[in-house]
Amino acid sequence: MAKELWKGNEAVAEAAIRAGCRCYFGYPITPQSEIPEYMALHMADTGGVFLQSESEIAAINMVYGASGAGARVMTSSSSPGISLKQEGISYMCGAELPAVIVNVMRGGPGLGTIQPAQGDYFQATRGGGNGDYRLIVLAPATIQEVVDLMQEAFDLADQYRIPVMMLLDGMIGQMMEPVEWTHTPASDLPGKTWATTGTEGKRPPNIINSLFIDPDACNRHNQHLEEKYKKIIENEIKYSINDLVDAEILFVAYGTPSRLARAAARLLGEEGIKAGVFRPISVWPYPYDALREAASQDSVQAVVTVEMSTGQMVDDVRIGVNGVKPVSFIGQAGGVIPSPREVADAAKKALGR
């Protein structure tokens, strides 16, 4: 099929519909409002449900309900709206409910700005809600990757009974790029025998709940969740590496900054400095081992983390690199995008040139 030009947010919505999402609950906020707008226009054609809720909190609780009833369901928002959803996300992790949550990040904290940022990394990967829980967090860097990962996000959610967050920044949501729609075969997923779909008097009721009032029972539940998270760490790590051969600099970046890093690598190449780019695609689970292996390569002299924040993922980079090479950071926050020149200059500084 011929390529089409898609805006990131529209592509999120269309890809979700194509992945079988039939329930969308959300509330508009820039820079992701094209997602609910597209859902409002197109979800009804599939026989699904679009509902603009009265608030973000209502939306995530509608997601909880629809997921409990076995529906393929999603919500989307941008940073301040995702903050409002944290309680519901924690409850969904506790109740083991699958869903896809899209965060098109903007500058913060608080209301911040509507320009792109990555200040929600800690919230996404460490959990903004209470309790010991994890989300699978996927961070695409192109519109094509957004489209390709949406199907997988829904499938992973169902496979592990866990909310999956698509962590985008405003640039990915707002820009346009060519997209090729390919047919994704349906995953071989077990039926949702746990869903509250009505017993018809033939089985005991299914109960969906995050309350385990007995501490021993709650501990057992936490241990059960932990086993699941370990399986996800074993099986679902995703990353990409570019231009590692003879690289003196190893950039580490996800989303938009990974593209700035590749642009900076081109600038450095003009000055005779080789630079590679390590890009985590799953930021939880984080590709610690693969990163350490890349950083351990003899040619690498410095690891430079690039973010649109004041430095959040750099903590994971330090955990991964584990002291084998020096790690430094370059970034801008609050809706400002670092320029490729700034990034290249930071790399030269890390090399002492």
Partner 1 sequence: MKLPDRKITIISGHYGTGKTEFAVNLAIAMARDGCKVALVDLDIVNPYFRSIERKDELERAGVTVYVTSLGGKADIPSLPPGIMSVFIDPDRQTVIDLGGDPGGARVLGYYKPQIDQTPHDFWFLVNRNRPENATEEKVIAYLRQTETASRQKVTGIINSSHLGRETTVEDILGGDAFAAEIAGILGLPLIYTVAERKFEDELRSQVKGSFFPIDLYMIKPWELSETKGGHFAWLET
Given candidates 111, 176, 211, 217, which one binds partner 1 under the rule CB under 8 A?
Answer: 176
* Residue 174 touches partner 1, criterion: CB under 8 A: yes
Nearer to partner 1, 3 or 231 (CB): 3
Query: Is 170 one of the binding residues for partner 1 (CB under 8 A)?
Result: yes
Q: How far apart are the first and last CA of the chain?
A: 48
- Interacting residues with partner 1 between 24 and 43 (CB under 8 A): 30-31
- Strands 49-52 and 73-77, sheet pairing: unpaired
Collapsed DSSP state (helix, strand, coil) of residue 247: coil
Nearer to partner 1, 159 or 256 (CB): 256
> Is 349 near partner 1 (CB under 8 A)?
no
Part of the chain binding partner 1 (CB under 8 A), chosen from 20-28, 54-62, 170-178, 284-292: 170-178
Q: Which is nearer to partner 1, 155 or 248 (CB)?
A: 248
Nearest to 118 by CA among 249, 306, 275, 295: 306
Nearest distance, CB of residue 178 and partner 1, angstroms: 5
Is 260 one of the binding residues for partner 1 (CB under 8 A)?
Answer: yes
SS3 for 317? helix
DSSP string of 59-83? HHHHHHHHHHTT--EEEEE-HHHHH
Q: Does 267 bind partner 1 (CB under 8 A)?
A: yes
Residue 268: CB minimum distance to partner 1, A: 10
Interface with partner 1 in residues 87-116 (CB under 8 A): 113-116
Applying CB under 8 A, the site for partner 1 has a residue count of: 34
Report, in Å, the least distance between residue 14 CB and partner 1: 8
- Which member of 87, 132, 148, 177 binds partner 1 (CB under 8 A)? 177
Identify the CA nearest to 248 among candidates 299, 304, 323, 303.
299
User: Rg of the chain's alpha carbons, rounded to an integer?
Assistant: 21
Contact flag: residue 178 with partner 1 (CB under 8 A): yes
Task: Identify residues 306-345 at the interface with partner 1 (CB under 8 A).
Answer: 337, 339-341, 344
Distance of CA 229 to the CA centre of its chain: 16
97, 259, 275, 329: which one binds partner 1 (CB under 8 A): 259
Contacts for 231-236: CB closer than 8 Å, 24+ residues apart:
231/160, 232/134, 232/136, 232/160, 232/162, 232/285, 233/285, 236/136, 236/156, 236/282, 236/285
> Which backbone phi and psi does 71 adopt, to 5 degrees?
-80, 155
Q: Which among 337, 343, 313 has a CA at the least distance from the CA of 120?
A: 313
Helix (H) or strand (E) holding 287: none
* Residues in contact with partner 1 by the rule CB under 8 A: 2-7, 10, 14, 30-31, 113-116, 170-171, 174-178, 256, 259-260, 262-264, 266-267, 337, 339-341, 344
